[in-house]
Amino acid sequence: MRKIILMMSVSLDGYIEGPNREIDWHMVDDELHTHFNEQLATMGAFLNGRVTYELMADFWPTADREKDSTGPVADFAAIWRNMPKIVFSRTLQHARWHTTIVRDVVVEDIRALKAQDGGDLALGGAELAAEFLRHDLVDEYRIYVHPVVLGRGKPLFAESDSRRKLRLLENRTFGNGVVLLRYERAEAAETAEAVDSADA
């Protein structure tokens, strides 16, 4: 069964973008970008909302042709172009670059997608993430905390009445001060441990 993995960069105070939608505070150097490439190249598809997809589609299809592109940028351009993408939008009519448009998040369809062969599914975008969280569809969180306090902006997690216990899988500090916090659902860890015990 494939996992849905929420991968997002956030400020220390939990925002994914500033009050004017700015993300110029992201500290993505070659080390961090190479890490992103290594993680995303193994995925089976990117899951995005319309806004995130259009931002990506405006830059990445030809990013490796820019004369000032670094190696990691050029590498990710190829990853993005070739990766299957699913865009959740009620208004987008056409999309290129191996992209499928889906109108709504339907739980049964997402579970069927997870049951297909292939790599895990990378989820991005605050609104889409909130919808997946409402349906309890996120299996793993990879949160990249950047060393900056924005004060206000768009939070990664919307207010919710649900509480989810998580288990820490990994933490890593990059040279630029960004910290990766990687968690999985606690019940997933308990299920895996029960299976291991039964097999022993």
pLDDT surpasses 60 at 191? no
Q: What pLDDT is attached to residue 195?
A: 45
Residue count (the chain): 200
**42-70, pLDDT tens digit by residue?**
999 999 988 888 888 888 777 777 777 77
Which pairing describes strands 4-11 and 121-123: parallel, antiparallel, or unpaired?
Answer: parallel
Q: Considering the entire predicted model, what is its pTM?
A: 0.87
Identify the weakest region by mean pLDDT among 80-84, 167-171, 195-199. 195-199
Number of H helices, E strands in the chain: 6, 10
Residue 13 has pLDDT above 80, yes or no: yes
β strands within 12-139, DSSP E: 15-17, 45-49, 85-88, 99-102, 121-123
| Percent of the chain surpassing pLDDT 70 | 94
